[in-house]
Amino acid sequence: MGNSWKTDDTQEAPRGTAPRAVRDLVGRVEVETIWDPLPKSHEGCPATAALTNLIRCTDRLGAVRQAEIALADDSCTRYARCVWHGVTVLICAGELLSADGHISRFENSADDRLDDVVALLRAQHAKHAGDVSGVRELLERLISSTPHRFVRDLAVPFLVEALATAGDVAAAEAVLDEYDFDELLAGRPAARPLLLAIRGELHLAAGRPAAALADMLACLRGPVSEVAAHSAVVRRRGVAALAAAADGRSELASALADEEEEAARGWGGLAYVGWAQYVRAMVDEPDRPSRLLNDAIDLLDAALSPAGIAASSYEQGVRLMESGDGTAAREQFKRAGQMARRIGNTKVAELAEKMLGELTQSLRQTSLTMQERKIAEMAQAGYSNKQIAERLVLTVRTIEFHLSNVYRKLRISGRRALMNTTLETP
């Protein structure tokens, strides 16, 4: 195995790649070397094999196994590139505990040659773990103190990504202006996909879907380098799909969402599949409470992805609120606010609190009477209107009248929705 590889359009596409129509759009995938070439004696190491699986989004378990082998081998860990490959694969695979252990080992070693690379990896790990404020502090210190321009040129886009994740779009754009991303794009061709992916995400967060789509499509067409094989680039198809949908290009959005879902299932990580489900819900089910969003929230919860949970729960909360299911919406907004505060995203946290306040005020104005609550509880227990009437010594018409008031006050459509509604404690 050499230091680079390309897909061949004449060969059968590996599981997890895009349909041909989308592959024609995004072009070929190749790896550019960014560190000094490995010696002949080290070519074909397991770290490089793990990276190849990550880029192709195939065989997640095999990639993790190869990364662990590389990181346990002293002949691999003497090279910064192998350390980067191995830990990056573990982070993107959701193996955060293992990645943390390896990063800590390198941080405590006497070998200072890897210090800056390990600091970058620590920042990436902290972001995935939800410690966005810690990421910001670490990267700002690294940018100001590192003597290596290459490390600074990676720390800058990582800082932009962390700020965007925290909802601080203005600060992220200030970093873009200060360090001139166009100059970075021209000077670091190997990092170009990473730079485009991060700037595209920022454009989308700032409400510029056309600019976001342009960056993401350019990212998709370009080669995927070793340093760019990290989460922002791995999920580039999904961000492109969201940008296309926001820009009114529904056919392209659907094709890209298909590609993202196929790649996610080919890779198999919970966080990635949850992200793909979120994208699919936003593209194909944009207006109503979504089963796909529920699936995304469950998967992201299992993957311990606070940023993903905050975004998905807030979106589902808005949809539930607009559909009239205020009780279910409250639970989603509570969850979104909790996760947003955890990662330091004050924007989403404040929006969730605002929605909760509106719902609370609405519920106070439309609280159930004791009789309505009793009838609602009996309906939830499975009693028919006739059975409720007999037990309360009322007419069926009176029961129907009270239930109609219950549905109106709870902003739900009927008995079926009532069965899935949590009645507020009086």
- Structure tokens, 29: 């995938």
Q: How far apart are CA 411 and CA 126, in angstroms?
A: 41
What residue ranges do the domains of the chain occupy? 20-269, 285-365, 367-419
Instruction: Output 77 or 224, whichever has higher pLDDT.
Output: 77
pLDDT one-digit tens code per residue, 340-361: 999 888 889 999 999 998 887 7
Residue range 367-419 in CATH 3.40.50.11720? no
Q: Which CATH class is domain 20-269?
A: mainly alpha
* Segment 131-149 mean pLDDT: 84
| Confidence band, pLDDT 50/70/90 cuts, at residue 276 | very high
Instruction: Output 154 or 15, whichever has higher pLDDT.
Output: 154
Mean pLDDT over the full length of the chain: 85
**177 DSSP assignment:** H
* Segment 396-414 mean pLDDT: 87
Treating both helix axes as pointing N-terminal to C-terminal, what angle do 346-365 and 306-323 enclose, rounded to 10 degrees? 30
Q: What is the DSSP string of 314-365?
A: HHHHHHHHHHT-HHHHHHHHHHHHHHHHHHT-HHHHHHHHHHHHHHHHHHHH
* Segment 234-257 mean pLDDT: 96
pLDDT one-digit tens code per residue, 360-371: 776 655 678 889
